[in-house]
Amino acid sequence: MNEGLMHFLSQGGYAQFVWGAYGMALLLLVGEVIGLRRRRRTILARLSRLLRLGTPPDNPRDHE
Amino acid sequence: MSSAWSKFASPSTFYPLAGRMIPVFWVLAAGSLLVGLYWGFFETPDQLGGSNAQKGYYRIIFLHVGAAWMSMWLYAVMVGWAAVGLVFNTRLSYMMANAIAPTGAIFTFLALWSGSFWGRPSWGTYWDWDPRLTSELILFFLYIGYIALHSAIDDARRADRAAALLAIVGLVMVPVIFWSINCPDPNQCAALHQRSGLGKVDGNILFAMLTTTLGFWMYSFATTLMRVRTIILTREAQTTWAAETIRAEVRS
Amino acid sequence: MFKVFWSVLHRDLLLAMRRRTDVLTTLFFFLIVVSLFPLGVGTETAVLRILGPGVVWVAALLASMLALERLFAADFEDGTLEQLLLTDQPLVLLVLAKITAHWLLTGLPLVLMAPLVGMQYHLTDPAIGIMMAALLLGTPVLSLIGAIGAALTLGLRGGGILLSLLILPLYIPVLVYGAGAVELAAVELTATRPYLMLLAAFLLSSLILAPLASAAALRISIE
């Protein structure tokens, strides 16, 4: 590993604070997007199943 | 309301429009975050200030300030949509308010989290009952209260309107709450002052800070629109346009 | 108009007197919470004097909040509330009467019990006096703001816990200045005036705004 990268990663000796803060941001923001995509897929699957069965989705609040 | 606005206020028109806008906001968000973080990490000095210097850990600022600004701004926008919903009785406004709340709560949490990671090296403690920290914590509680009330009510119409009223009450109380935290002793209120001004900040740092904030803002647009689309689909599932949309989306 | 106010107030007080245990439970809850703290943090006079104001106020917040759940619940269950909404009397006035009854049953007894609690925490006499004044001004605000939450969570599963989540953050200003006044009373009595003025300002503004918000919330919850 080269010098510059090590210097960058160590953040002047405060790596755990800097990367702890940015790591949590990455975790939450990426997690939110993944969660949203997954929720969209499950909702689409459920609604299309209901449509195929011909039953109107009764109470949309149950699936939110 | 003019006809153009009421047209976009209809979920069936807004749904495809939001779908087209989401990629644009993703590009903008990714672009500004990349530029902002690159600038923040490579174009700024490793150390700030003279005698009591802020070392490398001050780089948390690029995350912290943006998250804190977004947490407050999103609350205001959320209340704005909720108020529009209560006044004009438009379903889409409530859906927007609901879609904003989780993203706002996430940014509030991030502001608290990054603040404590900054506080540890610079103040020597993860948490202090500093007015700004406490205010941010209360803001977090307000977001959680809104989300909890909305999800506790089964009837969608009542949930929308009740949560909207709560959000407005919250906004009315926010200045009083923040003031009381800022100034617990009314005898010494004159001592209250702003501790930092943007004018004093170094240009490169300011640029990086504003760019990441812009990135967070664009990110909020993208996630809010994604969330509002799923809300629209679940709420409108019994209509024909939604049924067609669902069929088309599943096929692709 | 005042006749409506009085008749609702009278009715609520009468009903509460028929079910006295409900009222007493709240008061004993307050007393027990306040009495538990010295057992937890130790019984040294100096420590208790510092903790006293804050503990009393937090206990008052919790006691007032616990009783809030019942503010509209009984009338909601037997349909009285719906009838009240249908009358052509101003709903704001009816709500204000119910809040007043609630305060007379839960807030006022706390004010009267304050000297007892003050002695438990070795507060000085002037501090106890200020505490009573602060509670007298502050507890109505708690009832007024809390009524909004009670109306919003009407008839929900787990409404009590939810209510605390919604309302406790809004109680902060009253807590800060209420406890602050008592703390300062031990040091400099005259300096507590701004605190009491602020509490009075909160009382006046919440007296005007909170019944409006509660009435709107009731309409949302019931329609």
Distance from CA of B138 to the nearest CA of C (A): 6
The answer to whether residues B222 and A29 touch, using CB atoms and an 8 Å cutoff, is: no
Closest to B8 measured CA to CA, from B25, B21, B23: B21
Residues of chain B neighbouring C158 (CB-CB closer than 8 A): 152
Closest residue in B to C222 (Cα–Cα): B158
Closest residue in A to B215 (Cα–Cα): A29
Cα–Cα dist A12/B127, whole Å = 23
A21 vs B113: CB contact, 8 Å cut-off?
yes
Provide the residue range defining the domain that includes C215: 2-222
Model confidence pLDDT, tens digit, residues A5-58: 777 777 777 778 888 888 898 999 999 999 999 999 998 888 888 888 876 555
Per the structure, the count of domains in chain C is 1
Residues of chain B neighbouring C223 (CB-CB closer than 8 A): 158
The pLDDT assigned to B26 comes to 94
The answer to whether residues B35 and B213 touch, using CB atoms and an 8 Å cutoff, is: no
Closest to B65 measured CA to CA, from B216, B181, B171, B174: B216
Model confidence pLDDT, tens digit, residues B47-89: 666 555 667 777 888 888 899 999 999 999 999 999 999 998 8
The answer to whether residues C105 and C13 touch, using CB atoms and an 8 Å cutoff, is: yes
- Ordered DSSP codes for B188-227: GGGG------GGGS-HHHHHHHHHHHHHHHHHHHHHHHHH
Model confidence pLDDT, tens digit, residues C10-60: 888 888 888 888 888 888 999 999 999 888 888 888 888 888 888 999 999
Q: Which residues of B touch A (CB under 8 A)?
A: 41, 46-47, 55-57, 59-60, 63-64, 67, 102-103, 106, 109-110, 113-114, 117-118, 120-121, 154-156, 159, 219, 223, 226-227, 229-231, 233-238, 242-243, 246-247, 249-250
CB within 8 Å of chain C, chain B residues 138-177: 138, 141-142, 144-145, 148-149, 152-153, 158, 161-162, 165-166, 169-170, 172-173, 176-177
* C124 band by pLDDT with thresholds 50, 70 and 90: confident
Residues of chain C neighbouring B87 (CB-CB closer than 8 A): none
Closest residue in B to C202 (Cα–Cα): B176
Interface with C, mutate which of B185, B188, B192 (most C CBs under 10 A): B185
Type of residue numbered A33:
V
A17 vs B120: CB contact, 8 Å cut-off?
yes
C213 vs B165: CB contact, 8 Å cut-off?
yes
Distances (CA, A) of B8 to B13, B15, B155, B238, C119: 6, 9, 25, 20, 64
pLDDT above 90 (res C210): yes
In chain B, domain spans: 62-201+228-251
Closest residue in A to B38 (Cα–Cα): A8
Provide the residue-wise pLDDT of chain B in tens; the chain has 252 residues: 455 666 667 888 888 888 899 999 999 999 999 998 888 888 777 666 655 566 777 788 888 889 999 999 999 999 999 999 999 888 899 999 999 999 999 999 999 998 888 878 777 778 777 777 888 899 999 999 999 999 999 888 899 999 999 999 999 988 888 888 877 777 766 444 445 556 666 788 888 889 999 999 999 999 999 999 999 988 887 788 888 888 888 777
Model confidence pLDDT, tens digit, residues C62-109: 998 888 888 888 888 888 888 888 888 888 999 999 999 999 998 999
